[in-house]
Amino acid sequence: DFDVAAIKIGMLYDTDIIQMVHRIIEPLIIPIVLDPVCISKAGSLLLKDDAIDALRDLSRIVTLSTPNLHEAYRLFGYKADDTDSHAQIMQHRSPVLIKHHVMNTTTSDILYFGNKKQIFTAEMIDSTSQHGTGCSYSSAIAASLALGLNLAQSIEKAKRFITHAIVQAPHIGHGPGPINHKSGGDHVA
């Protein structure tokens, strides 16, 4: 009873599921953000080995893919210090935002789109409450795209939202904690 204005796709476990999602979304003409949750920040594989090719194919038909550094290497052969891999990812059919390049006191995400590269930077925050930042970040990008913002504006707004949500995170327990999605402010939809 309402129109869908954007889609965010998260973890897809195997080839069959990925191919089914591919068939369903391919004819759609709305913004689709793929967070290819296939490798954890620690490097652990989170999907079947044979599903990488299907996930790479899916990434070609979406509005934006948002892999972390480990996922970008596995999906596209991307290495932060290898300019040849940067040139290769620029040839990808759809935009790719590679998350979390850490440099001194900042963290940068790099958007590759065609022959262009755009960097989105934020202050590095020393916090154990960062669980779910990648999923929340891609969801915030999708929400901003649904509101009609362009890709760069959506990424900028989502990055501000995530930074604020980390700063305002509750400190629960002794391990990694959640961010604060209800931190307020006009950072995202």
Q: Does any domain span residue 29? A: yes
Output the DSSP codes for 145-186: HHTT--HHHHHHHHHHHHHHHHHT----SSS--B--TT--SS
Q: Does any domain span residue 73? A: yes
Match 């996922």 to its residue by tokens. Answer: 71
Per-residue confidence (pLDDT) for residue 38, from 0 to 100: 85
Q: What is the CA radius of gyration of the chain?
A: 16
Per-residue confidence (pLDDT) for residue 185, from 0 to 100: 57
Q: What whole-number distance in Å separates Cα of residue 86 and Cα of residue 59?
A: 17
Q: Does any domain span residue 64? A: yes
Instruction: Tell me how many domains the chain contains.
Output: 1
Q: Which spans in the chain are helix H?
A: 15-25, 52-59, 69-76, 83-90, 133-146, 151-167
Q: Does any domain span residue 30? A: yes
Q: Does any domain span residue 15? A: yes
Furthest-apart CA atoms within the chain: distance in Å? 49
Q: Model confidence over 45-69: pLDDT tens digits? A: 888 888 999 999 999 999 999 998 8
Domain containing 30 equals 7-167
Q: Does any domain span residue 176? A: no
Q: Does any domain span residue 141? A: yes
Q: What whole-number distance in Å separates Cα of residue 36 and Cα of residue 54?
A: 11
Q: Does any domain span residue 183? A: no
Query: What is the CATH classification number for the domain harbouring 36?
Result: 3.40.1190.20
Query: pLDDT > 70: what percent of the chain?
Result: 90
Whether the predicted pLDDT of 70 surpasses 70: yes
